[in-house]
Amino acid sequence: MAGKKDYVNSIVSNNREQIEYHIKEILSLIGENVDREGLFETPARVTRMYEEIFAGYDVDPRDVLGVTFDEQHEELVIVKDIVYYSQCEHHMAPFFGKVHIGYIPSGKIAGLSKFARLVDAITRRLQVQERITSQIADIMDEVLRPNGIMVVVDGEHLCMCARGVKKYGSKTVTSAVRGEFRKSSALRSEFLSLIKD
C-alpha cells in the first residue's frame, strides 16, 4: 500500500459503469431528481469514493507486514493513535476512531509505518470493530511471532450515533490480547497507561 495507486479498489474500477448506474437508481428510488445539477456527477463521485474506502479488498494484510527486520529488542513497543475509517457491514454507515498496538518482539520487528498500513488494509472494507481488533492481533501473531500482542480499538459508529438510538458521542472500545499480555495483568496495565492521552 505504498503509493496512491494502492489505495484504489480495482474491482470497483473494473465495474465503474454498473456501480454508477445502480447509485443513480438508488437516488431515483429515494425520490431524488437525478438530473438536477447537484446530483448529476454524484454517481461518479460515489464510485470514486468506493475505490478509495474499499481499497482493502485489493490488499492481503499479511503482505503489509511481510518485510521484517531481525532485532533483539524484547521490550514493549507501542504504536498508538493510528486513525482509521471504515464502513459498518450492517448498515454501510461509516465508523472511525483510533487503533493502539503494543507488542513484545521475539527477534523480529516491522517498520513502524507498516502498522498504519496494516490498519488501512483491514479497515478499508466492510467491517465490524470486533473483527478489526482480532484481525490486527492475529495477523501480527502470524507474521511477527512476537512474545505478546495487545490491540485496543476505539470507534464512533454513525449507525448508532446518527440513526437508530441516535446516541451522539458514544464510543465503542474493543481489545485483543495474545501471549504475554494475556498472562500478565501488569503488562496490560502498563500498555493501557501508556496509550492514555
Positions annotated as catalytic residues are 88-91, 129, 157, 159
Cα 167 to Cα 19, 142, 153, distances in angstroms = 32, 37, 19
Per the annotation, does 91 bind a ligand? yes
Length of the chain, please?
197
CB 125 within 8 A of CB 107: no
What single DSSP character describes residue 75? Answer: S
d(CA 50, CA 20): 11
CB 44 within 8 A of CB 19: no
Cα 84 to Cα 99, 143, 197, distances in angstroms = 7, 22, 17
Residue 110, classed as helix, strand or coil, is strand
Per the annotation, does 73 bind a ligand? no
Per the annotation, does 88 bind a ligand? yes
Binding site listing: 88, 91, 159
Binding site listing for Zn(2+): 88, 91, 159
